[in-house]
Structure 1
């Protein structure tokens, strides 16, 4: 067996050996693999060698481990070999009486540097003096040396063998550092070089100096004079540049609401300028070793993270990375800067840069670009997401550093929107102008169409909610540096994105490069394997609420979920999700990025915490290839990232977290850095299959359920994208966007409670505080507010007045509401009538009771969430039909009682139309803890038993069968709440007959979605309607309605009562209405049938009505 041990960094050779040897026996290990570093990885590598029969001497290794355990740190023995060096050369003595030009200090503020002084002729530069080793005498050479520290043992032997020895003299004595008061220190992103004036300063010097020192000082004088000339020549032009730049930044700062005239950097500046009052600068007396300027890392709003070494794609087969020499100080740009209040490049110009001649926008300097087929470009539409460039800071064509500021307007109707929000991947992609900046800086002067741009990865942190329609994203993108590895040039960038003054996303350690086709084709892909990794210590895995029983999902099932039908997708256990008004789901259209779920194992994967694999079929004509990029089509890595996060969101739904979170949305966990790695490409050379793998790491239940996972994308089995730890959570949202539409009507006696239609719709499905102002702010988060019904079962048009204060339970408090009955109302068509049907009229009277209860603060004043249910109705009497027009409802809270964690409210309600009474009632509602509704006990029915409901009947008909068709009509459409009818002629105590009507409860029934948002139950009014319709069917089957043209909505002038002691939820299977006829009377108004009725859900009686009437009217 052949054994290979790679000692160098990473594991590039180790990965290549299996490709070369194939199935030949061998073992290859890397001691410093990039993905697995540290002591554990080293131990595992040594163990792998040992189990493959390689002799391994472990004594020394064990000794070092023991030393570490005993906190000895593996100290070297005294006899260890060492090399000793002196730290500095000896002092260089100044020449007596020597003088140098003094450099005046920079002005107190940067702005002062904008005033250019008079032109200064460059001083004559002395001829350089050539110094060779022969020019220095041995004596001088010896005098420059110093004794080395004493060495013994092996160290002395090494020192003796290293002849002739060279020693570094001690450090020179430099003048002390200039001390500056804090008040004169400012920061900017650019270095302003101070001009050097010609005032001489005499510096005292030691009395004697050697020839070598004099020669060195001559070189210093020459360099100083040359530098002085250079700085003076640049001063005027650079001052003009700074003046323009400060004006632009001041404009941007004012636009974002900061102090006028003050530039506030969004991220830490790349360099620091120190300015101070004029102070005489001491002359430098000897050349110092060159020290590369240190650029502070930009400050991030994200949690601090260690910056990784620049990562190069395995495709590059890199040589050691060598920094690219820093560009010379930039000369003033000849390109015009954007004036305040304008943009540098418009959307139209960006489209030219994405697909046309670059020189048409960048100018003739870039005419060479127009000769190349492939360029560094931003994508063409629809993936061109930037709408304008505000400014560019960076010298064109230099491949230096720079900054670009862009803006993106979030179109509410754009393809990238989902439930009113921008998708995470598109947010990342919108920071795409690093390509434009790289192009501006001259990338294609080197690429020449032979190399193309590819993103390698970044560390990104979402800072809060995703952008919504109508907002503008402000991106500040910085290219921080460049490097080369072999022939491959890399660059490093970061950016911040703001919405107004809110930091929305921060990207750090961005890495991209320019690669040849061969390098891209030869990539090793992502070097990560879940089997070699593990969840972090202390990772949480709470029990999911309801895990689907399915282990894969077809394209049809996935499509159902995308369309909002979670129950159809996930099946049994998800019935409550069927009633969602807007279930948390995945995007449609172009952002539908995978086709099926090939595998779901809720406790699977290498970590045993859950695994999901989503599969996408990517044809060669996929939409994103067109324009991304022109003549260089490839799938955006940001879309791979978006698809992977969608797969994680689907896993979260499959665990049941969306069931109790109707209207909520998926969103990245804020303030946590995630590292994205791209190491491959998907191009249209063939159809591809992409697998998005989700390795669950943490499941955290709670007010905002959260799931963390490692994400991996494979293209035809090849790993191309990886995010080690990414979190998705569910956050509160509402089907109706926040900010209820106007016109706004603030109720008299309140400061922020609205009575207009928009606010009332918000009571049904919007943000609670849009309806009740500050009183309901606690419900704008994760708490659940009591709701009014939503459309189409919402029957309050406006609140006219209320005479009690908000948030204060008030006995005798009254509100006046109105409802406008439209001529084309759906319920008029469903009932073949011009009068409002019973169920709708009941709701018109009950819904203001719900509004007044919320206004009184019964729910808002409690620390826990409650459910709102109707309990009783007494003395309900309809006097005349409610017709098209405006109905006015006066609702008075007579009293309330609290006890046992519940609150019961009693109301007196009167409905009028054109000042005539339509209906009156007394009714009671209650606020209950959710657990109080879980174990229903129902009502005891005196007329019916389960045996009676299930008994065989002599008459069995379909609800709209021939026997029940025609006039007088029964309800249809939404108000058809019966499927089948059983009738017993002559049955009951009065011998007039009894009937049972049945309908099957479907979890996706329309009324669950309307009544109530996040609390789906069948309206009690529809239970009353079901009993009324059952009695009408009995009247027709008994023959007492023969010849009638229509039924009254409920028998006028016939008072009745009801009691509700239960609820129909999406979990119910069967609902039955049972009626027993008490009397039949005929007069000039028609035939009146009076009955008692009960309503059953499955095997429990939950509603009861007494002495309700049906009147069949004849022409």
Structure 2
């Protein structure tokens, strides 16, 4: 081999090239070590090691629940449910990400008998999911969806066999009393105890009257008294929505809504509204409104139910105490239609109801209530009984949801601002949902 003598310029170039190669190799080595270290650390933190990982005791786990919901009841429950699997529309819960059951822990029911029965289930908030609010809070309204476990209970009792797979479930009425204003957070577990007390039948139509309790660990969060029904397709399509008589007289004395900002705006564009729900308050309100929240408020695009704010009037509304109106465009490609329910697409009522809280949060921002305190926090008022009525359907297709939130009471006390509302939701001018007595407290977080 001949020795090659490099000149000074070539030598400098060679040394520089080797230095770069060595640096890249060392960087790749360090990056690889970091990846391995993080993988081991994540396994330790998530109890991923075999000796630490424990599956909670249950009758049916998440995988089995998903199998029964998506594909086959018989695969988990046995041959007597084989007929149920033949029905495209049956008593089934929604699919993920709208399936809020990690495990079923108790059940007291019999196949082939529609009689008072009960079931208990748990759901782990391993991540904030579609109902996440801010960094790790969960929407206050998610416990309403805990009632879905009752659909499984009806399927377990064999409703589909009794009705020959001709019925679809729809919620009717719900009166939910909150006993804790503390929201669920990532890492919490929600337990639901669901009890059917009685049935009413008219032909094949079956109405069930039930209660359900939700817990955060051992702490009682809410108790609901509710009803829901299994209806034929013809009955669902003939529903004309909520018939509400016009208010003949105002039982409340009109008064201007409490506000601390001086903005003259009474409506907001799609872009401004979107900015608010992404947590970019200045892009929405400019410098006219101050917000100082203890925890930043923003929501996931998946459940953003207000596209634009069409009217804010401090002296308007049903009671002359203030109103805010908003709109949402419904399109057939929206994800809820794919999961709620399989082969029976209908927009979930709870997501529409969550839009009421979203619109109220916008109003609290617009009025300056969320900037009145240096460290503002909000919560649902303990003892408040929120009454919801569901009539009509929002089927897969194009439509316009219209929201009206009427202020019934807004008062400032020593311990915070209390806002009581009544809301209506219209789908193409059909009154499909009414929510009354929703009470929120805005206060200084210590």
Give the deviation of 1:400 after TM superposition.
1.1
Give the deviation of 1:546 after TM superposition.
2.3
Name the SS for the 1:568 alignment partner: helix
Q: Deviations over 1:502-525 (max 9, x none)?
A: 1011111x1111111111111121
Give the deviation of 1:530 after TM superposition.
5.8
Structure 2 residue corresponding to 1:623, chosen from 332, 335, 340: 335
Give the deviation of 1:532 after TM superposition.
4.5
Alpha carbon RMSD of aligned pairs, Å? 2.2
The structure having more radius of gyration, on CA atoms, is 1
Pair 1:689 & 2:391 matched: no
Pair 1:719 & 2:426 matched: no
Taking the aligned partners of 1:522 and 1:675, their CA distance within structure 2 comes to 24
Which residues of 2 match residues 1103-1114 of structure 1 at below 5 A? none
Partner of 2:9: none
Partner of 1:521: 237
Partner of 2:356: 644
Name the SS for the 2:260 alignment partner: coil
Partner of 2:198: 481
Taking the aligned partners of 2:204 and 2:388, their CA distance within structure 1 comes to 24
Partner of 2:140: 424
In structure 2, list runs of 5 or more residues that go unmatched.
1-54
Partner of 1:456: 172
- TM-score norm. by structure 1 comes to 0.34
Which residues of 2 match residues 213-292 of structure 1 at below 5 A? none
Give the deviation of 1:584 after TM superposition.
5.5
Taking the aligned partners of 2:183 and 2:293, their CA distance within structure 1 comes to 21
Name the SS for the 1:431 alignment partner: helix
Taking the aligned partners of 2:358 and 2:408, their CA distance within structure 1 comes to 16
Partner of 2:219: 502
Taking the aligned partners of 2:317 and 2:408, their CA distance within structure 1 comes to 10
Q: Deviations over 1:800-827 (max 9, x none)?
A: xxxxxxxxxxxxxxxxxxxxxxxxxxxx
Give the deviation of 1:373 after TM superposition.
1.0
Structure 2 residue corresponding to 1:392, chosen from 107, 113, 131: 107
Name the SS for the 1:573 alignment partner: coil
Query: Closer, same or farther in 2 for the Cα pair 1:540/1:396, shift >3 Å?
Result: farther
Structure 2 residue corresponding to 1:710, chosen from 422, 427, 442: 422
Q: Deviations over 1:599-654 (max 9, x none)?
A: 11121123221111110001011111111111001111111111112212222222
Query: Closer, same or farther in 2 for the Cα pair 1:590/1:532, shift >3 Å?
Result: farther
Name the SS for the 2:440 alignment partner: strand
Query: Closer, same or farther in 2 for the Cα pair 1:357/1:704, shift >3 Å?
Result: same
Give the deviation of 1:668 after TM superposition.
2.2
Taking the aligned partners of 1:555 and 1:525, their CA distance within structure 2 comes to 28
Structure 1 residue corresponding to 2:322, chosen from 610, 622, 626: 610
Structure 1 residue corresponding to 2:280, chosen from 565, 570, 576: 565
Say whether the 8 Å CA contact 1:454–1:513 is kept in structure 2: yes
Pair 1:660 & 2:375 matched: no
Pair 1:701 & 2:416 matched: no
Query: Closer, same or farther in 2 for the Cα pair 1:542/1:718, shift >3 Å?
Result: closer
Structure 1 residue corresponding to 2:311, chosen from 599, 615, 625: 599
Taking the aligned partners of 1:451 and 1:415, their CA distance within structure 2 comes to 28
Name the SS for the 1:705 alignment partner: strand
Pair 1:490 & 2:207 matched: yes
Partner of 2:161: 445
Give the deviation of 1:586 after TM superposition.
4.4
Say whether the 8 Å CA contact 1:410–1:468 is kept in structure 2: yes
Say whether the 8 Å CA contact 1:649–1:666 is kept in structure 2: no
Name the SS for the 1:428 alignment partner: helix
Give the deviation of 1:432 after TM superposition.
1.6
Say whether the 8 Å CA contact 2:140–2:183 is kept in structure 1: yes
Partner of 1:551: 266
Say whether the 8 Å CA contact 1:544–1:701 is kept in structure 2: no
Taking the aligned partners of 2:298 and 2:188, their CA distance within structure 1 comes to 22
Give the deviation of 1:581 after TM superposition.
6.8
Name the SS for the 1:569 alignment partner: helix
Say whether the 8 Å CA contact 1:477–1:495 is kept in structure 2: yes
Say whether the 8 Å CA contact 1:550–1:570 is kept in structure 2: no
Taking the aligned partners of 2:245 and 2:348, their CA distance within structure 1 comes to 23
- TM-score norm. by structure 2 comes to 0.82
Say whether the 8 Å CA contact 2:293–2:376 is kept in structure 1: no
Taking the aligned partners of 2:249 and 2:108, their CA distance within structure 1 comes to 42
Taking the aligned partners of 2:183 and 2:74, their CA distance within structure 1 comes to 36
Query: Closer, same or farther in 2 for the Cα pair 1:661/1:448, shift >3 Å?
Result: farther
Taking the aligned partners of 2:204 and 2:78, their CA distance within structure 1 comes to 29
Say whether the 8 Å CA contact 1:595–1:617 is kept in structure 2: yes
Give the deviation of 1:662 after TM superposition.
5.3
Which residues of 2 match residues 694-773 of structure 1 at below 5 A? 694-702=405-413, 703-732=415-444
Give the deviation of 1:552 after TM superposition.
0.6
Please state which structure has a larger fraction of its residues in strand: 2
Query: Closer, same or farther in 2 for the Cα pair 1:521/1:341, shift >3 Å?
Result: closer
